[in-house]
Structure 1
Amino acid sequence: MNKRLAIGFLLLFAVYQASEGLQTVFAPTSPLGPALMLLTLVLAWPVGRWIDGSGFRAYGLVATRWLPLLASALLLAVIAKLAAEAIALGLGVEQFVPAVPLSLTVIAIGLVTTFIPSIAEDILTRGFLLRFTPRPLGFWMYVIASAALYTANHLWRLDWGISEQIRLFCLGLAYAAAAWRMQSLWVAVGLHWGWNLSNSLLSQAWQTTMADPVEGRWISAAVHLVLFAFIALYPAAASEKPGEKPNATSSFR
């Protein structure tokens, strides 16, 4: 199990990082980057089957209540993003021109292009830790370990400065807390996807100009710390113990 776990993680990690490197640094306009990101998600299923025979369930993507969890978390993330934008505008960190209407095509593309990298990264930085540890991790150990892994996973942003690393860590805290509290990766996916989707669509609709990117990162970090505090106070899922796998009959196999 341990050998398969390590090989599976390293395989997904390598494909994911190749995609991020192409899209961020080497060939941003190449279709190979997005194709490799999709490949990361596609490979996650046979890797999950190889590790313990449960496919996507291996990472906490259980079928039970998945749609309400995903939808509610996505909505919460959208609200958080709008709050961050309101704060940035109020402080003068951002300025924007009149809104540009978004077409249904742009929205549809945004839904897909933000969902795939969000769920792929959630599998890597939260799903493995949620299900595959020598012993079930407690809330704080899981959240800190996952947030650190999420931050380290952004290899191609290491030169963005300490503000970006702190921002990523705060994002990781909120998303990991959600996954642990509900013992389902779908909640983290909803928050992560909702934030990325809102960021993508708002940047196209509002045409904002950032006066100081560093201040914008601090605002994003602060909003996620508030989100983390809200989730941390939310009662843990009573149906499962931390780290316990759900019944195989309610899984995506």
Structure 2
Amino acid sequence: MNKRVVLGFLLLLVVYQASEGLQTVVARGNPLGPALMLLALALAWPVGRWIDGSGWRAFGLLRPRWLGLLGGGLLLAILAKFAAEALALGLGIETFAPMLALPVSALGLLALTTFIPSLAEDILTRGFLLRFTPKPLGFWAYVLASALLYTGNHLWRFDWGLTEQLRLFCLGLAYAAAAYRFRSLWAAVGLHWGWNFAGAALSQAWPTTLADAASGRLVSAAVHLLLFAVIAGWVHAAQPADNPSKV
């Protein structure tokens, strides 16, 4: 594998993990954490330029129809999140408090603060694999490799238990399948961002009491497995597409 690809990946990984560690474990509320996340995203452009001269395009970004893919994935993920919450409520896993009014400005801030890390993580765990592998990956090889990388990228959650690792793996399957199917990272970003945004908005607008965290994670995993099955079936039914290394 190209040394520039490896070094570029490691650079973004270190900055991303430093941000995650600060925000989730070491110094919550410290502005350095979000600043490092912005840095990880900003560094992706010069890294892409260094690897093959294409900047953001190196990771499957700036593709045709990108806005439609982003918006479609966003809407689908929000609907999936509501379905997961409804299922958890029906199973008695969660109980809901009365809804609270959430200002439009708060929704805008949540949209921004969930978009940036979603995009940065998708570049790391899906964008590199979409183009920069020693040989082109088929659907299953790409999806499994990306899902494992996505799960491993959450190293600050390794102590959350097996159900969290399973949940992350299932999320990774669905998002990777979308990236592969459309040969564009924006399809995965839309799903990833939509799920995170909907979760953040719901937690503020409609507080819940979780009776069983492990069961809640399994519900999220099941919903994403369904998303994955739909996207994988779409891949199977579609005409053979171009090589993912040529996006």
TM-score w.r.t. the length of structure 2 is: 0.97
Please name the residue that 1:213 is paired with.
213
Which structure 2 residue ranges, 5 or more long, are not aligned?
A: none
Counterpart for residue 134 of structure 1: 134
Give the count of matched residue pairs. 246
Q: Does 1:72 align with 2:80?
A: no
Give 1:175's aligned amino acid.
Y
CA contact (8 A) 2:22 2:33 kept: yes
Question: 1:94-113, aligned counterparts within 5 Å?
Answer: 94-113=94-113
Does the 8 Å CA contact 1:45/1:56 hold for their aligned counterparts?
yes
Q: Shift of the alpha carbon at 1:240?
A: 4.7
Match of 1:209, SS state, is strand
In structure 2, what is the Cα distance between the partners aligned to 1:193 and 1:238?
A: 28
Of residues 227-236 and 185-194 in structure 1, the stretch that sits farther from structure 2 once superposed is: 227-236
Report how far residue 134 of structure 1 moved: 1.3
How large is the RMSD of aligned CA atoms in angstroms? 1.3
- How do residues 1-253 of structure 1 correspond to structure 2 at under 5 angstroms? 2-235=2-235, 240-246=241-247
CA distance in 2, matches of 1:103, 1:167: 31
Q: In structure 2, what residue type is equivalent to 1:196?
A: N
Report deviation, 1:136: 1.0
Give runs of ≥4 in structure 1 deviating > 4 Å. 236-240
Gaps (5+ residues) in structure 1?
A: 247-253
**Aligned to 1:203, what secondary structure does the other structure show?**
helix
8 Å Cα contact 1:180/1:242 also seen in 2: no
Question: Conserved in 1, the CA contact under 8 Å of 2:63 and 2:184?
Answer: no
Q: Following the alignment from structure 1 to structure 2, what is the Cα–Cα distance between the partners of residues 215 and 190?
A: 25
1: distance between equivalents of 2:240 and 2:177? 17
> Distance between the aligned counterparts of 1:230 and 1:76, measured in 2?
12
**Which secondary structure does the structure 2 equivalent of 1:95 belong to?**
strand
Query: For 1:220 and 1:85, how far apart are their aligned partners in 2?
Result: 9
1:118 & 1:239 partners in 2: Cα distance?
Answer: 29
The 2-side partners of 1:239 and 1:164 are apart by 34
Deviation by residue 1:41-82 (Cα, 9 ceiling, x = unmatched): 000000000000000110001330000010001100011100
CA distance in structure 1 between the aligned counterparts of 2:180 and 2:192, rounded to whole angstroms: 14
Q: Give 1:62's aligned amino acid.
A: L
* CA drift at 1:101: 1.2
Asked if structure 2 preserves the Cα contact closer than 8 Å seen for 1:114 and 1:193, the reply is: yes
What residue identity is the alignment partner of 1:68? Answer: G
